[in-house]
Structure 1
């Protein structure tokens, strides 16, 4: 399998690269700073420097891949549109290239509350997470409107730690129990495995250690 990874230089992205290579995948790591990031040495790893908003560069990154993993990050104040507009460009270029499968990283606020509304719309949702949550919401809306086989992983606070293999998931709602945190390694482990398992096609996923 050939996998293109967006956001490859971030905390989760580096874990995605490591775990995809461990599975024997050919990995295309895309980003602005891929040549200055300490990736593992591996013949199956191709570094592709480019900008997320550049249509031609993103098309070249996904062309010929079997699937896409996205761990796009950025500022939390809502001024960084990488999560929403970047996702829109990825979707458009995947359509052009005939690539159908994507597992993307979002935030917990896009999961359903018990009343069926989104957590981010609740009165008690932490206000400091609203701006970035709205970016995740737009990314989710782009995925939902697409023809792709998408999975949107809506994570709580991400801890910079390796995989333990011990985590819980739930479709469209927060998992039980919910500790409101997840190791970056476990997040990547779930995302890479979901490429093969396909248990959450066109679904959001709540996850917690």
Structure 2
């Protein structure tokens, strides 16, 4: 079925009547759309546009590689799995391999896509693609000029403690820890 005809669209579909650009940054842009609601009324939607991101669940000797860095929006340091935004035209798998080596110094010889998810569909179009690897070789760290972080390998128990303590609180890393726990218990990421 085509999404080009109004009758083919979801009954709650909101038709965009106007888009007003508000801000254009290096990572995100903000726009305000005027939409027609299913009942014929109009409303506005504030939308953050993001190029998408990747993250990697990387295991070395049954320990997960994580990085700790300061996150200004939260005003605190966070422990997260290696991650970063997609460059223009970059395939997610290539970005995952690149980000892993840039932040941890480990190069993935092979990598498997686990899941892609939207981070905040109520106001942003960002999609994060999560990958897994335990097939690693030593590479070289290549941090961006404005990037300051440390890397460590933690056990599943440490990861669970970091969640309890609030050192891990972002969705992608919490998801990674629970996926790792599922794999440890069942032998598979998807059961």
TM bracket, shorter-chain basis: under 0.3
Q: State the structure with more CA Rg.
A: 2
Q: Higher strand share goes to which structure? A: 2
Question: What is the TM-score when the length of structure 1 is the normalising length?
Answer: 0.22
Please state which structure has a larger fraction of its residues in helix: 1
TM-score scaled by length of structure 2: 0.24
